[in-house]
């Protein structure tokens, strides 16, 4: 089978551009939101599968050209400032939600594994004893190598059952570790699956390490039915950054 043409534009990027071009064609210069069909109908009309369509919509969301609320999904034409619905969020949280390190150049590394967790985390997530789950380990460090934030996130059975992108990763990484996973849009994926994440934090000072003091944060994310979705344990160097409590629930 011939490989992809070097330098070719990915299909989902071309689909994203096609969606916006069609919105511009029908808007006739208006900057008002243009409602688009549901995923199944839109994918069929564009001749692509739904996974490709979802990646295209993620591109448009990142560019601020798509908004989804309970009434549907809307595109903006780019011919003027978007007239956002009153419920629209100015930004979406990226995963993991953690510290802010203004003015510092930080480097991120991440690992994804499928393994058992400690009994206290089992209880929070509703896991059976020794039941494995998806675990995301994330570290921010300065360019000199000094760690300024560590985050370990554990996902519940509810999340793995409802978010296809995570359940596919579980099937793929059983028995091994995936390096550098990209879960930045996790909360958008949750919202697309009908889960509306709400984050609660417990903050304390961790002085267990003799050489330095950490700001320790446990974040519990639940959905609209109070079902646990995720637990994240953060350690932030308070000399270098601060915790940002802002959290915009995706539509």
Same fold, 11-75 and 99-243: no
pLDDT at position 102 is: 79
99-243 placed in CATH 3.40.50.720: no
Q: Return averaged pLDDT per consecutive 10 residues of the chain, 251 residues in all.
A: 50 85 72 76 90 83 68 64 43 74 83 94 95 94 88 96 90 79 84 85 79 88 92 91 69 45
Cβ–Cβ under 8 Å, residues 169 and 135: no
For the chain, the structural domain boundaries read 11-75, 99-243
pLDDT at position 157 is: 96
CATH of 11-75, one of 3.90.1640.20, 2.60.40.10, 1.10.10.10, 3.40.190.10: 1.10.10.10
- Polymer length in residues for the chain: 251
pLDDT at position 240 is: 86
Those residues with Cβ within 8 angstroms of residue 9's Cβ, 6 or more apart along the chain or in another chain: none
pLDDT at position 98 is: 81
pLDDT at position 22 is: 82
Q: Is-above-0.85 flag for pTM?
A: no
In degrees to the nearest 10, what's the CA dihedral of 221, 227, 229, 235? Answer: 40
């Amino acid at each position: 089978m011939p490989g992809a043409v070097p330098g070719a534009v990915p299909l989902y990027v071309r689909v994203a551009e096609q969606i916006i071009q069609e919105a511009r064609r029908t808007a006739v210069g208006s900057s008002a939101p243009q409602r688009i069909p549901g995923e199944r109908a839109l994918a069929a009309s564009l001749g692509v599968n739904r996974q490709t369509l979802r990646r295209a919509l993620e591109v448009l969301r990142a560019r601020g050209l798509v908004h989804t609320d309970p009434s549907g999904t809307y595109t903006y034409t780019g011919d003027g400032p978007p007239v956002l619905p009153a419920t629209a969020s100015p930004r979406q949280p990226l995963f993991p939600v953690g510290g802010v390190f203004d003015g510092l150049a930080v480097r991120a590394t991440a690992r994804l594994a499928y393994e058992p967790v400690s009994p206290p985390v089992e209880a929070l997530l509703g896991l059976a004893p020794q039941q494995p789950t998806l675990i995301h380990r994330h570290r921010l460090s300065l360019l000199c190598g000094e760690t300024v934030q560590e985050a370990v996130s554990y996902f519940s059975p509810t999340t793995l059952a409802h978010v296809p992108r995570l359940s596919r990763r579980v099937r793929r990484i059983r028995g091994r570790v995936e390096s550098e996973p990209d879960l930045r849009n996790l909360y958008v994926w949750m919202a697309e699956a009908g889960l509306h994440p709400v984050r609660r934090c417990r903050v304390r000072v961790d002085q267990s390490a003799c050489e330095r003091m950490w700001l320790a944060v446990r974040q519990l994310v639940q959905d609209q039915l109070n079902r646990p979705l995720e637990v994240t344990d953060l350690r932030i160097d308070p000399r270098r950054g601060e915790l940002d409590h802002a959290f915009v629930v995706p539509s």
